[in-house]
Amino acid sequence: MLRPKLRLATATAALALATPAAAQMDHSKMNMPGMTMPMPAEKPAAQKPPSKKPAVANKPPAKKPAAKSPQLRAGAASRATPKSGTRARAALPSRSRSSVVDPRSGSDMSAKTGQPMPAGPDMSGMPGMTAPAQPVAGQGQTPVPPAGHDMSSMPGMTMPQSPAAGQGQTPEPRAGHDMSSMPGGAMPGHDMSTMPSAAPSGTSLPAGNAPPPPVPKVDAADAIYGVNAMEMGRHHLYQFHGGQKLAQVLVNVLETQFRKGRNGFEWDAEGWYGGDINRLWIKTEGDGAFGRPLERAEVQALYSRAVGPYFNLQGGLRYDFKPNPSRVYATVGVEGLAPSFFDVEGALFLSNKGELMARAEGSYDQRITQRLILQPRAELNFAAENSREIGVGAGLNDAELGLRLRYDIRREFAPYVGVQYRRAFGRTRGYLRDEGEDASSWSLLTGVRLWF
């Protein structure tokens, strides 16, 4: 009987020594920075084998000292004897009764729930992390950041403002946040009148009569290579890229006229040489009958200057070979493209004998297709006084109306057919009848229009 009892006492002492050794492990020192180890659930205590000495097993545990630290409790547990193992185990705080502190609010959550809550990582000290503000339930006041988190010094973080519930007052910036220097609007209680305003520009500037700024000089290369070295380059640039001289010869009318009883011919041509602004023009026109002398022939030498994008002002001399006697006229006129693409020409002539005359011409190219063009054409001649020597009367001398249909084999070469009516008026009509000429006539036309 003594030996089994001795064995039971030895097992009980070994169990008592194992329990304080486990208590010596301080799990609070295993917490690494930024990590909190969750507390495992308490396992049921191992049941001890039945003992024949219930007085030792059922002895009430000693009361836990109130002022002892965990280190002192661990030291006391390490020095416990087998008989005091139960008291050492009872001195350790039970896991089921350990207080769990909420890292966000600092409150003890063990009283709210019957079980311990695992403590999460403490991220309040990490940069860039902001805990959401939790409103206080039932108080109707603006939520504030959680305790222990001062976000007033964090760059780029602005707490949203919430109006006070039921108070109807304008929310103000949170404590510790100076919003007076933030752009984008004035905050209540902050005087924004001292902030500088943007300077007016563009259409916001007041009207004035100041001279315009000087035109910037584009010859920046002169500062590097010199004016003399760059002058030759600018000369060639102007000559071959915008200031070059061009030329054109246009034969608008070169035709044979089939008249009643007598066939004839007529021409109207012009050519020019020059630049975009200044040009020299040569014009000629006339008509006659086959087998007879020329009835009318003239040539003009004009200086032309552009007065706009569509019109040229012209001035020079006109010389009439026919009719006899010949005349020399000082000429001034205008030629260009009128609205709706009408080619118009007008001129005044003052002869060396003091005879003043005028002429107006106009034509229009109506494109039926890209190559088939119908061209109506009109010419009117006027005189200020009667002159029997040259066979013109005062007023409207004669009028010529024609209609020509041409086909552009190429833009530079286009044969045509047409019809033309010509009639004299007033004293000119009488002069023609006195010479045995017809005062009016119809003609069928065939000819070619070309330019190069």
> Which residues are CB-neighbours of 365 under 8 A, at least 6 positions away?
341, 343, 373, 374, 375
Position 5 in a domain: no
Q: What is the mean pLDDT of residues 168-184?
A: 49
pLDDT above 80 for 399: yes
Position 252 in a domain: no
Say if CB 331 and CB 355 are below 8 A apart.
no
Token readout for 282 is 């040569």
- Find the helix packing angle between 2-23 and 70-78, rounded to 10°: 160
pLDDT above 60 for 78: no
* pLDDT at res. 395: 94
Write out pLDDT tens, residues 233-280: 888 887 778 777 899 999 999 999 998 878 999 999 999 999 889 999
pLDDT classification of 419: cutoffs 50, 70, 90: very high
Position 95 in a domain: no
Q: Provide the residue type at 4 as one letter.
A: P
Position 266 in a domain: yes
Position 31 in a domain: no
Position 76 in a domain: no
41-55, 70-84, 145-159: the lowest-pLDDT one: 70-84
pLDDT above 60 for 11: yes
392 is in which domain, residue-wise?
A: 257-451
Say if CB 449 and CB 259 are below 8 A apart.
no
Averaged confidence pLDDT in the chain: 74
Domains contained in the chain, number:
1
CA distance 141 to 407: 92
* pLDDT at res. 409: 96
CA distance 75 to 71: 6
Position 383 in a domain: yes
> Which residues are CB-neighbours of 371 under 8 A, at least 6 positions away?
407, 408, 409
Write out pLDDT tens, residues 133-150: 454 444 445 444 454 455
Q: What is the mean pLDDT of residues 283-294?
A: 92
Token readout for 255 is 């035709």
Q: What is the CATH number of the domain that holds 316?
A: 2.40.160.40
pLDDT classification of 168: cutoffs 50, 70, 90: very low
CA distance 158 to 173: 9
Q: What is the mean pLDDT of residues 166-176?
A: 47
Beta-ladder partners of 401: 378, 421
64-73, 206-215, 226-235, 294-303: the lowest-pLDDT one: 64-73
Write out pLDDT tens, residues 241-250: 877 789 999 9
Of residues 329 and 102, the one with the higher pLDDT is 329
Q: What is the mean pLDDT of residues 188-195?
A: 59
pLDDT above 80 for 441: yes
pLDDT above 50 for 89: no
What's the angle, vertex CA 94, arms to CA 89 and CA 98, rounded to 5?
150
Position 355 in a domain: yes
pLDDT above 90 for 292: no
Place of tokens 């010529």: 400
CA distance 328 to 349: 9
